Structure 1
Amino acid sequence: MDNTMIAKGIKYLASIDPDIQDAVELIGAPAPRIRPHGIEALVSIIISQQLSTEAAASIMAKVKNLLPDISANSILKTPPEQLRAAGLSRRKIEYVCALAEAIKTNRLDLEALKQMPDSEAINHITQLRGMGRWSAEIYLMFSLQRQDIFPADDLAIVIALQKLKGLEERPSAKEARVITEHWSPWLSVGSLFLWHYYRGAP
């Protein structure tokens, strides 16, 4: 999502949601987040599962140092103990290798993903071991630049939504989707704003 897309989305969201309008006046709009599409982005998403942003970035840097060219072949040729030394858990090594194998055998068609509707692309990605809905939605948001994605399983998002809306309890993923359904077709910008709010809200 570039600045133009974010500005358009924030303007729309502020016009229909007073809580966002008030919050934008306090902390401003979020910065763009654009990732390249492809295996490197998916490996990064696997690494970031259930980790802080800082910890995930540290491990990803070590993986890129180990594999300057992250590809299906380079992953499958790398001994697991080297990936383990870079910081990946055994389970995430299994997920990364399963991803590489799926791409190598064309069970996961990265180019075809670009043309699929959101729901179809999410279903295609979540067929892979270790790739749940959150992982698929993050890839669609940041690598495929889809406009209407809301990763409700993200802890920071639901915490921020609770604070933004003044809720007594943290909403479940299902409740969060209901609370924000009127943000469509700008759910991706709304999600980006919630991460921004999580880090910068007074």
Structure 2
Amino acid sequence: MTAGSTAERAFAEAVAALVGADPQLAGLVAEHGRPDYWSRPPGFATLVLLVLEQQVSLASAAATYRSMLRHQGGMTPRHVLANDDMRGDGVSRQKQRYLLALATAVETGALDLDGLAALDDDAARAALTALPGIGRWTADVYLLACLHRPDLWPVGDRALQVATAETLGLAQVPSAAELEVHGERWRPYRSTAARLLWHGYLRRRGRDAMPVPVL
């Protein structure tokens, strides 16, 4: 059985457990259905895309990624380090600094991307967030979507904050610290809870519930 199929099977089991235990999530699935299990390939290219997605729309980040790819001819650390025109691709000065730091760390071995799979969640997050421009949101989404970790809870994600408020009927959108507390009810399946909440958030707004397929 492949890693992908194993993760999909675990996801289906987690959905069943959450729906059976939580009326709010059960109602969410009844209204919007169970989302498809989406993932992203682990590695440097996905981290580049995640950095580009910070504080912009997925479509905008995808356009920038495609422009970089056309200009560079590939998406490896060496391609990025050789790209002296990221601003022309639509990359901000700040994100250019982040991408150069990421490429340097991977190229020199300071960040062992392949080795992250052998680390627990906290250690893997610490290795990623040691780099400039990679905060908890970026690290958690990488662990959730690329390494299939079952109990990630990206508390800094605004859509997840809003979705939790809508699903639980909260009077206010929770802060990151408050979302951490709300997430405790869904351990040890918080990654699946996040997927269900994101799915409902997007469906309520008439939007596609799958990431932009650029990788």
With normalisation by structure 2, the TM-score equals 0.89
- Native 8 Å contact 1:108 1:125 kept in 2: yes
Q: Secondary structure at the match of 2:118?
A: coil
**Paired position in structure 2 for 1:131:** 134
Structure 1 counterpart of 2:28, from 23, 28, 49: 23
**Paired position in structure 2 for 1:146:** 149
Identity of aligned residues (%): 33
Give distance in 2, aligned partners of 1:177 and 1:117.
Answer: 19
**Paired position in structure 1 for 2:191:** 188
Contiguous gaps of at least 5 residues in structure 1? none
1:69-88 equivalence runs, <5 A: 69-79=74-84, 82-88=85-91
Amino acid at match of 2:188: P
Seen in structure 2, the aligned counterparts of structure 1 residues 38 and 158 have a Cα distance that, compared at 3 Å, is same
**Paired position in structure 1 for 2:117:** 114
When the two chains are superposed, the root-mean-square deviation of aligned CA atoms in Å is 1.3
Contiguous gaps of at least 5 residues in structure 2? 206-215
Amino acid at match of 1:114: A
Structure 1 counterpart of 2:94, from 67, 71, 91: 91
- Native 8 Å contact 2:28 2:196 kept in 1: no
Structure 2 counterpart of 1:63, from 43, 64, 68: 68
- Native 8 Å contact 1:6 1:29 kept in 2: no
Give distance in 2, aligned partners of 1:19 and 1:128.
Answer: 37
Amino acid at match of 2:42: H
Give distance in 2, aligned partners of 1:62 and 1:142.
Answer: 23
- Native 8 Å contact 1:6 1:30 kept in 2: no
Amino acid at match of 1:56: A
Give distance in 2, aligned partners of 1:171 and 1:70.
Answer: 37
Post-superposition offset of 1:75: 0.8
Structure 2 counterpart of 1:197, from 196, 200, 208: 200
- Native 8 Å contact 2:140 2:154 kept in 1: yes
